[in-house]
Structure 1
Amino acid sequence: MGNLLGNWRFKEPSTVEECDSTWGSDSEGDEPAAEEDSGISESVSPAENDWLTGNNGDSSPKMGESPEFLPKMKRSFYAARDLYKYRHCYPNYKKSRQSNEYRNLRFYLNKIPLVPDGIYIEEILTTWRGDYDKLEHNHTYIQWLFPLREQGLNFYAHELTQDEIKEFQSTREAKRRFLAAYSLMLDFYGIKLLDKSGNVARSSNWQERFHHLNESQHNYLRITRILKSLGELGYEAFKAPLVRLFLEESLCHSTLPNMQHSILEYFVYTIRRPAARRKLLRYARQHYRPAHAFLWGPPPKRSKARSGDFDASVGAGSSGIRAPAPTPEPQRKGEMSFIPASACSGTLVSYNDATQCQDVAAESPNGFKQLGSSMDGMENALIMMLERKEYGEVVPL
């Protein structure tokens, strides 16, 4: 029996629709308890497709380009599957071969330096703030400041474990420094943390920093990692205010136009509660242009619209903009096998780490934006590799 359980494998979803349950319960009411934040999250991957119109801010259809003749856009399945795994506590999780030494916690307690640079957390927090060149061009610190439960590009950094997450969340000194690290990175992006609820706003130097952020698109991978790490370490509620700010800046003020696709494919779908995601997507749908190209709304109604009914392509509770829903990918044959409610709370799904996992009820897509020439080193090599090969597993930044 032990061998049978040990060989049990989660059957992964095969379409974007199977990865995303955001609109499965299209209401603004309270979500089931299983959807609530457990304080233990998961991780993300870098993969974004060059997809929409030019980056000049004018994305409206040109003369003679009616919606039916424009190229049909698709969401990235690989991004959707990656974030699905993140929100579902890593089905088929394999325990890290590294010994559990709580290295992430010890780093945040200022007991060990990050490797390979040999820098302690206190030095980073006290001397790196405002040193934007260092924060931009150093690519080893981000995995230590924002750890995840999967390996990143810095192979000296250790993956989080469930036991370490629980210990971290109960250690006041570590949590204080983690929020200071979050504030440090927000300042780098031109944003300030307003309060202990995670509310954010533009900082005094936002114009300069937003211009840099709009052009330096490898930072979008870092932001995805930061959002996921917030969820890992007990700050799930901090995600929505930051994502909301990015949506407003990119869609309403056009200060971050290059970020639109990353926000909608990645940032939104790091949020585990479907109601919170729906609220953000409804806001995005109101301001997205061209409206017909919005891919993240509810799927079309299956039943035929009766006379006098609203357009079937407008989901219940939507903003009312009659933008067609994304073209569904071909339906997979057969029925998908989901994890039973009991599986995610036992050792069957994710072995050691699954013992604390809640049965989060499905969600998520995230796409892949063309990352600009500002990428360098290992990050550039990784992105080029991802663009050329359809990897089923993607290494997070």
Structure 2
Amino acid sequence: MGNLLGSWRFKEPSTVEECDSTWGSDSESDEPAAEDDSGVSDSISPAESDSSPQLTGSPESVPKMKRSFYAARDLYKYRHSYPNYRKSRQPNEYRNLRFYLNKIPLVPDGIYIEEILTKWRGDYDKLEHNHTYIQWLFPLREQGLNFYAHELTQDEIKEFQSTREAKRRFLAAYSIMLDFYGIKLLDKSGSVARAPNWQERFQHLNESQHNYLRVTRILKSLGELGYEAFKAPLVRLFLQESLYHNTLPNMQHSVLEYFVYTIRLPATRRRLLRYARQHYRPAHAFLWGPPPKRRGGGGGGGSMGAGSSGIRAPAPTPEPQRRGEESSPSAGRGIIVSSHDAMMCQEQIGAGLKGSTGLGSSMSGLEGALMMAGARGEINDYSETFPL
């Protein structure tokens, strides 16, 4: 039996369609259906109609675009609990949990979580230009660009979710991040709205695009640590601001290519994408709807593999319930750096991830291309959290 299991191999998705299960269970019609959105329906209204908006340009005038396979694969692995995941490179010392219990400082800066929560609020310059704290505030089960930070483990995730003090500080850190972006957290269910300083902060967010990498990390970490339902309200707000209000036009690609696909429930992704399609211009260039081959009933590349509607990642605790998802052992070799991290760094500094040494507080070699930010306001002292 041991040899049989040892010889088992998963097939890694090789196309965007195989990585995307969003439309796998959808009917041939794109009309919104009454779907269970795990409590998100209160904060996400269904699409008012599915009529095609007027085009603002001819197909010939629009550059040919296609979805990023690297982004799709990265988010596929995240949503399906890293099916090819191996043990992290560090021993399981619960360092992320101990950091949130204020027992150890983040490395390399030597700063404790309470100092960040109490003294960094409103210091937008520090939150923008320091690139070492984000991976400690929002840990994942994948290695990022601060190699002093430790990946989460399954056992640590369970322990974190059962520790009230850690969860309280995690939500306080989340509210700091939202305020930095001009958003306020309204309640324990994750509802969000514009903050009083939204105009100033949205202008900064629209211009400082490396923060989109940070937002992706925040969304992923919310799902890892038990706050899956917090994602959809935030993604919906970003869709509204980038597509409808046009206050964050530079965010359009990131919210559709990355933010939406951090959400594990296909029904919720469908609802968000239907809303996006209503307001996307030019409408004929919208890339994130149902695959055309599925509409014709031919099955196509999007109907198998990751496109199977029944595959859903466990939430909130990402237990290794693979349910037959396809993947490959090849991606588990060495240190894992997310595709989004790599792509954003290439765009920001014009080079690949070569040599990640010298990651001190300045991190001059990767300035403007790393992790995350925080914000002003009072600490949201949530003593309880809602299980998802």
TM-score by length of 2: 0.74
Say if 2:114 is the partner of 1:147: no
Per-residue CA shift, 1:75-107, capped at 9, x if unaligned? 001100110010111121111131100000000
Post-superposition CA distance 1:206-258 (Å, at most 9, x none): 00100000000000000000000000000000000000000000111110000
CA distance in 2, matches of 1:281, 1:210: 22
Distance 1:180 1:303 in 2: 44
Change (3 A) 1:102 1:198: same
1:281 counterpart residue number: 273
Structure 1 unaligned residues grouped into runs of 5+: 38-58, 306-311, 313-327, 346-352, 388-394
- Output the amino acid matched with 2:9: R
Aligned pairs, number: 320
Q: 1:46-61 counterparts in 2 under 5 A?
A: 60-61=56-57
Q: Are 1:246 and 2:238 an aligned pair? A: yes
Structure 1: distance between partners of 2:219 and 2:26: 24
Determine the structure 1 residue equivalent to 2:228: 236
How do residues 197-212 of structure 1 correspond to structure 2 at under 5 angstroms? 197-212=189-204
| CA deviation profile, 1:112-169 (whole Å, cap 9, x unmatched) | 0000000000000000011000000000000000000011111110000010000000
Q: Distance in 2 between matches of 1:29 and 1:5?
A: 41
RMSD: 3.6
Q: Kindly indicate whether the alpha-carbon contact (under 8 Å) linking 1:60 and 1:290 is maintained by their aligned counterparts in 2.
A: yes
Aligned 8 A contact 2:213 2:340 in 1: no
Amino acid at match of 2:196: S
Give yes or no for contact 2:140–2:151 (8 Å, CA) kept in 1.
Answer: yes
Aligned partner of 1:90 among 79, 82, 87: 82
- Amino acid across the alignment from 1:153: L
- 1:79 maps onto 2:75 in alignment: no
Q: Give the CA deviation at 1:359.
A: 3.7
State how far apart, in whole Å, the 2-side matches of 1:135 and 1:84 are: 30
Partner of 1:161 in structure 2? Answer: 153
Amino acid at match of 2:84: N
Change (3 A) 1:368 1:222: closer
How far apart, in 2, do the equivalents of 1:194 and 1:266 lie? 24
State the distance in 1 between where 2:242 and 2:342 align: 15
Distance 2:181 2:301 in 1: 40
Query: How far apart, CA to CA, are the structure 2 residues paired with 1:153 and 1:237?
Result: 27
Paired amino acid for 1:218: H
Q: TM-score when scaled to structure 1? A: 0.72
Quote how far apart the aligned CAs of 1:21 are: 1.2
Letter in 1 for 2:159: E
Paired with 1:303 and 1:258, the residues of 2 have a C-alpha distance of: 31
Cα deviations across residues 353-377 of structure 1 (Å, max 9, x unaligned)?
9854364979xxx989986xxx7xx
List aligned pairs for 1:59-74, cutoff 5 A: 60-61=56-57, 66-68=58-60, 70-74=62-66
- Does residue 264 (structure 1) correspond to residue 256 (structure 2)? The answer is yes
